[in-house]
């Protein structure tokens, strides 16, 4: 799905579906991804080691198979946002934002790059540009670009309205591990303390027409996020999905062969 169509779908109240790329590097994955029904993928550079060349290669490959490339930058700094855009990202996911200063800098860069410095901050704070021609040029250049802000801590949750006002993001990201840990219930994704916060974030964002993604790792937890109203559906990772698919199919073949799957140990069937 092209980024302009993805943005339109979300603005009209629809859902889009994607996963996180934590290990994929080779462009030979293009064939598999093109038949995957993915609308978008997030190229992780926060927890995965990727250089700018690799990001550029993946963004180009994903665009060729009509999947919107989103880059999760390592930290909430405008310089990383600019580098991701230069590498070909259509969307930027900025993790763990908490302050208005962070929000202003990263959202301004996502929308008005390559404008920098004083002019950039004038644009975000005062809607002032060098000229109407400059504003039109930059707006046209980024018509398919979108920015997602990570609300991943209790301080960020407590500052949610101010963050939404300052950044006017195209989406909000909830990192379950970070958020649940910050709330004192690490990885307890069925804990009411965690679920109430997720539900409240989704409700308040939807009131503003802003879709939310919750990065859960299994079908049950992702289904819960959808039931709570998440429309920017982010499910699992390439490695997680591949591991489950291999395990499911290999165990099915063991069953067909008359092997007791329950007797398998470390992936090796005991005959």
- The predicted-structure confidence for 130-162, as pLDDT tens digits, reads as follows 999 999 999 999 999 999 999 999 999 999 999
Residues 6+ apart with CB under 8 A from 69: 40, 41, 43, 58, 59, 62, 63, 88, 89, 90, 91
Domain that holds residue 166: 3-263
Q: Is residue 270 part of a domain?
A: no
The stretch 218-235 carries a mean pLDDT of 97
Predicted confidence at residue 268, as pLDDT, reads 46
Q: How far is it, in rounded angstroms, from Cα 124 to Cα 99?
A: 15
Cβ-contact 93, 73 below 8 angstroms: yes
SS3 4: helix
pLDDT digits (tens, 9 = 90+) for 38-91: 999 999 999 998 999 999 999 999 999 999 999 999 999 999 999 999 999 999
State the residue for tokens 């039931």: 227
Predicted confidence at residue 79, as pLDDT, reads 95
Q: Is residue 74 part of a domain?
A: yes
How crowded is residue 162: how many other Cβ atoms within 10 Å of its Cβ? 12
The stretch 203-214 carries a mean pLDDT of 98
Q: Where in 74-144 does DSSP place strands (E)? A: 91-94
Q: Is residue 204 part of a domain?
A: yes
CA atoms within 13 A on the CB side of 206: 17
Predicted confidence at residue 263, as pLDDT, reads 62
Q: Is residue 132 part of a domain?
A: yes
Cβ-contact 182, 152 below 8 angstroms: yes
Q: How far is it, in rounded angstroms, from Cα 237 to Cα 199?
A: 23
Radius of gyration of the chain (CA): 20
Predicted confidence at residue 264, as pLDDT, reads 58
Q: Is residue 268 part of a domain?
A: no
Predicted confidence at residue 265, as pLDDT, reads 54
Predicted confidence at residue 227, as pLDDT, reads 97
Rounded percentage of the chain residues whose pLDDT exceeds 90? 85
The CATH number linked to 83 is 3.20.20.60
Model pTM score: 0.91
Overall number of domains in the chain: 1
């Amino acid at each position: 799905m092209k980024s302009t169509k993805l943005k339109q779908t979300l603005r009209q109240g629809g859902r889009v579906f994607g996963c996180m790329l934590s290990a994929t590097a080779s462009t030979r994955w293009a064939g598999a991804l093109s038949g995957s029904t993915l609308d978008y993928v997030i190229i992780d550079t926060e927890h995965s080691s990727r250089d700018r060349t690799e990001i550029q290669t993946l963004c180009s490959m994903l665009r060729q198979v009509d999947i919107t490339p989103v880059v999760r930058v390592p930290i909430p700094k405008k310089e990383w946002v600019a580098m991701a855009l230069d590498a070909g990202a259509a969307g930027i996911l900025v993790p763990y934002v908490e302050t208005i200063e962070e929000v202003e800098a990263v959202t301004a860069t996502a929308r008005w790059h390559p404008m920098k410095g004083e002019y950039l901050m004038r644009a975000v704070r005062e809607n002032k540009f060098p000229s109407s021609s400059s504003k039109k040029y930059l707006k046209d250049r980024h018509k398919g670009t979108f920015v997602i802000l990570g609300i991943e801590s209790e301080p960020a949750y407590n500052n949610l309205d101010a963050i939404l006002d300052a950044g006017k993001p195209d989406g909000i990201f909830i990192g379950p591990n970070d958020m649940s840990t910050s709330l004192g219930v690490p990885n307890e994704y069925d804990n009411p303390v965690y679920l109430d916060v997720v539900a409240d974030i989704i409700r308040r964002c939807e009131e503003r027409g802003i879709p939310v993604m919750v990065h859960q790792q299994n079908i049950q937890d992702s289904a819960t996020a959808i039931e709570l109203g998440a429309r920017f559906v982010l499910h699992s990772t390439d490695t997680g999905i591949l591991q489950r698919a291999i395990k499911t199919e290999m165990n099915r073949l063991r069953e067909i062969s008359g092997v007791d799957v329950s007797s398998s140990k470390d992936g090796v069937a005991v005959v």
